[in-house]
Amino acid sequence: MCNNAGTYDDHLVKQFVRLLKGNAFDWYTDLEAGSIDGWEQLEQEFLNRFYSTRRTVSMVELTNSRQWKEEPVIDYINRWRNLSLNCKDRLSEASAIKDVSKGCIGVFAIFSKESSPNLLKN
């Protein structure tokens, strides 16, 4: 909580705290006394806790991913794998292989349907 008394920072903190509800309020009340030195630190800690800049990929986006024309197969697999790491849902290994294979074009599309589960590991 904030140690500053009577400063503009203190005023900002008090106004901010009045807006907090639910998990955000619980988070604030669980802060150790003296752990926040002012508004800037509170703002940063709050954003670190409750705001994510990481893009979340939906299962629909992942399963609709396709190899681009002229894209090397390994580049497509790596692109698909990176998308899958940001997907909020997790696929089984068998489902992942099926989905990545479905997005392949050309000769590899046929080959990949029979490939081993190690296809996505590296």
- Tens of pLDDT along 31-81? 898 898 888 999 888 888 887 777 788 999 999 999 999 999 999 999 999
- Report, as an integer, the average pLDDT of 81-103: 87
In the block, which residue shows the tokens 């008090």? 14
Give the separation between CA 112 and CA 98, rounded to whole angstroms.
Answer: 9
Residue extents of the structural domains in the chain: 8-50, 59-120
Give the separation between CA 97 and CA 84, rounded to whole angstroms.
Answer: 11
Nearest CA to 17 out of 6, 29, 7 is that of 29
Helix (H) / strand (E) element for 85: namely helix 73-85
Give buried/exposed letters for 57-77 (b at 16+ CB in 10 A, else e).
beeeebeebebeeeeebeebb
Residue 13 pLDDT grade (very low, low, confident, very high; cuts 50, 70, 90): confident
pLDDT computed for residue 60 by the predictor:
92
| Stated pTM of the model | 0.49
pLDDT computed for residue 74 by the predictor:
92
- Percent pLDDT > 70 in the chain is 82
Residue 116 pLDDT grade (very low, low, confident, very high; cuts 50, 70, 90): very low
